[in-house]
Amino acid sequence: MSISVGIVGARGYVGAELIRLVAGHPVFELDYVSSRELDGQRVAEHIDVYRGELRYSAPAHEDLPALGADAVVLALPNGKARVCVDAFDAAVSVGKGVDPVIVDLSADYRFDAGWYYGLPELTRDRFAGQRRISNPGCYATAMQLSVAPMLDLLAGPVQCFGVSGYSGAGTTPSDKNDPDALRDNLMPYALAGHIHEREVSTQLGHPIHFMPHVAPHFRGLTITANMPLSRSVARGDVVERYRARYVDEPLVRVLDEAPWVSRIAGRHHVEIGGFTMSGDGRRLVTVATEDNLLKGAATQALQNLNLAFGLDEWTGIPVMENG
């Protein structure tokens, strides 16, 4: 059995990671990869693990349905996905083109109740065969996994201090992905009302205050979450909560010590640790790290594709045992 996958917006960092993952998948097969900038160039010239003859193409959005892929991943900037989705919906409405599984990596459909919000570790039981899947944001993934085990004990808003490598700012030039501007620097931005703040608050049903920063490293992010609690809790009980919650989740590792962002680059899982209690046991601080391009985007998209086609969720993902 072979399942064809098209990637729209394949020039970016996440698109490249998706190509690598799909190329190594035992069932999925790349059908097309779109990029205006790389149109006509061989994919193998840009992606080291890809061995096929496929070339980048640049189809118009309205032509995408006619390409016939079983699944389409939209790796486009925020605000750009809807025109593609509309093209597929229009084609289906007149009986032209296929109705593929669509996984959108942007924020465009994360607040749309008609789309499945694909953070499998927390929303797997909500998946009921939906063919429209919204991939969570990178920071939002780490924040939700950090906070979810304590939801029933939270006494107020959770403060999350985040630092990401500059790959999270994408490839369009700006101060946030300029190595010279970032050298020996830590750049704050969108300190209130960031879209991931709204995303996590909506998904968890609890207020989250998020303060993101960009650092000089390329990939990997870290979140420090400060959680006020409604009663005093012992550190050992907190750690046991996290271990019990994620014991069957191979892409979430619960550590005793605080994880380092330098150790997560190129890995497909999230690490949560550094559990620290205030003296009265009514404030918990945790640290979580993930590769923003992998579990924060491409790896999670592959999890969602596997779910959508009834495959083992971790097919094609290098899985480490939880520890």
Beta strands in the chain (DSSP E): 3-8, 28-34, 71-74, 101-104, 116-117, 132-134, 158-164, 187-188, 208-214, 221-228, 252-254, 270-277, 283-290
* φ and ψ at residue 211, rounded to 5 degrees: -125, 95
152: its two tokens: 């029933």
Domains of the chain: 3-108 (3.40.50.720), 138-291 (3.30.360.10)
Chain centroid to CA 290: 10
Q: What is the pLDDT at residue 182?
A: 85
Give the Cα separation of 56 and 44 in Å (integer). Answer: 10
Cα–Cα nearest to 277, from 222, 240, 246, 238: 238
The average confidence (pLDDT) of the chain is 94
User: In terms of DSSP bridges, do strands 252-254 and 101-104 run parallel, antiparallel, or are they unpaired?
Assistant: unpaired
User: In terms of DSSP bridges, do strands 270-277 and 283-290 run parallel, antiparallel, or are they unpaired?
Assistant: antiparallel
Q: What is the pLDDT at residue 93?
A: 80
122: its two tokens: 């927390």
What average pLDDT does the segment 177-206 reach?
92
Percentage of residues in the chain with pLDDT exceeding 90?
A: 87
Give per-residue pLDDT as tens, 8-26. Answer: 998 889 999 999 999 999 9
Give per-residue pLDDT as tens, 230-258. Answer: 999 999 999 999 999 999 999 999 999 99
Rg (CA), the chain: 20
Q: What is the pLDDT at residue 321?
A: 44
How does residue 223 score in pLDDT terms, banded at 50, 70 and 90? very high
What average pLDDT does the segment 127-133 reach?
97
How does residue 305 score in pLDDT terms, banded at 50, 70 and 90? very high
What is the DSSP track for 76-87? --TT-HHHHHHH
Catalytic positions, written as ranges: 138
Contact of 274 with 285, CB cutoff 8 Å: yes
Q: Is the pLDDT of residue 298 over 50?
A: yes
Say what the pTM is. 0.95
Helix axes 13-23, 299-308, angle to 10 degrees: 50
Give per-residue pLDDT as tens, 158-171. Answer: 999 999 999 877 76
